[in-house]
Amino acid sequence: MSLYLPKNYKNLLGSVESTEKAIKAVKDMFQTNLSAQLALLRVTAPMIVMTGTGINDDLNSIERPVRFPIKDMNEQQAEVVHSLAKWKRLKLGEMGIQPGRGIYTDMNALRPDEELDNIHSIYVDQWDWERVIRKEDRTLDYLKRTVRRIYEAIKVTENKLYVEFPQIAPMLPDEIYFIHAEELLQRYPGLNAKQRELAIVKEHKAVFIIGIGGQLSDGSIHDGRAADYDDWSTPNGEGPAGFQAGSEAEYKGLNGDILLWNPVLESAFEVSSMGIRVDEEAMRRQLKLRDQEWKADLYFHKRLLAGELPYTIGGGVGQSRLCMFLLRKAHIGEIQSSIWPEEMRRTCAQAGIELV
């Protein structure tokens, strides 16, 4: 258990009742804004998928899913989703959605291996979204344009929230800053990945870090990513000054994270993980890099490698995370009802942090 207690913390909304009203306002406004920015249709999504199909999100490939047998299906195993990264791509294929349009859904997941702190909970809720693109759209420029649209949806929500709750003043900058994970490493060579995030986000307030999951020049990765959804290995046309296209110096990756400066926690605060998804070539390459070539025989992977699924871009925006940020909360438990250690509950209560 880890916990950060802001000094002189105060609930700007005054009460749990006002907080609940504000949570609803944020959720209603943001999903409307996101849908408009990316031309997304809301769909119903599963909370469980069958084990062994490759449909569930492996996250960093070490987290254990909640798994159980189904009595009426000959004890076949099912598991609670970690996210819907791959399910959405299957759904788009089934629906025959055309390029330029997509879907979003309310995703509810359980991640029992999370280390509980101010921003991590066993219960995860997010707007999972996915949009069909053309093969020629698999570029860094397309990724950046999409990030800007999502950031605009966040900013519009922040400004509308201010109208209803004037005690919460807008603070996001006009533009989001882009930087590759390798460039970030070169800028702060003496810091670890989380320290580098803190430094860059404190300076720019809203940052998109590109290339999450691929190996950097020092042999590390900025943060873990599964091999079979985001494309973190394709050269993206950018690099250090004087780089040659196709050389080892060219940056790789068509994915990344949106991070905002959180003044309550005084930290970099991730609200979204997203990216252009793997095509057939990137899937094969990344499975090999992670020694997971055996996955090529799973249902999802076989269909993708056979060219049966659309090219897509997608990701998730944390619902409780975004509410926490916009409502200036110190703990995600002020937004969502989950399970917390009793010691954490007592400590939070003493600091004026009321967990629901």
Q: What percent of the chain has pLDDT over 70?
A: 99
What per-residue string of b and e applies to 36-73 under the rule 16 or more CB within 10 Å gives b? ebbebeebebbeebbbeebbbbbbeeeeebeeeeeeee
pLDDT for residue 14 is more than 90: no
pLDDT of residue 83: 83
244 part of the active site: no
Instruction: Enumerate domains of the chain plus CATH numbers.
Output: 16-350 (3.30.930.10)
The active-site residue, picked from 31, 35, 126, 319, is 126
Catalytically annotated residue among 58, 125, 137, 270: 270
Q: How confident is the prediction for the chain on average, in pLDDT? A: 95
pLDDT at 294: 96
- 126 tagged catalytic: yes
The answer to whether 283 and 307 have CB atoms below 8 angstroms apart is: no
What is the tens place of the pLDDT at every residue in 100-158? 999 999 999 998 888 999 999 999 999 999 999 999 999 999 999 999 999 999 999 99
Whole-number pLDDT of residue 244: 87
The per-residue pLDDT for range 180-229, each reduced to its tens digit, is: 999 999 999 999 999 999 999 999 999 999 999 999 999 999 999 999 99
How does pLDDT run across 168-188, given as a tens digit for each residue?
A: 999 999 999 999 999 999 999
Q: Quick one: which H or E segment has residue 104?
A: strand 102-110
Mean pLDDT of 297-322: 97
Where residue 246 falls among pLDDT bands split at 50, 70, 90?
A: confident
Tell me how far the alpha carbon of residue 160 is from its chain's centroid: 23
Catalytic residue among 31, 35, 57, 158: 57
Q: Write down the pTM of the prediction.
A: 0.94
Catalytic residue among 273, 319, 336, 338: 273
**Catalytic site includes residue 83:** no
* Average of per-residue pLDDT across 335-341: 94
Q: Is 215 a catalytic residue?
A: no
Q: What is the pLDDT of residue 1?
A: 66
Indicate which residue of 257, 319, 320, 338 is catalytic.
257
Count of other CB atoms within 10 angstroms of residue 142: 16
Is-catalytic flag, 277?
Answer: no
Catalytic residue among 58, 83, 111, 230: 111
State phi, psi for 6 to the nearest 5 degrees.
-65, 145
57 is catalytic: yes
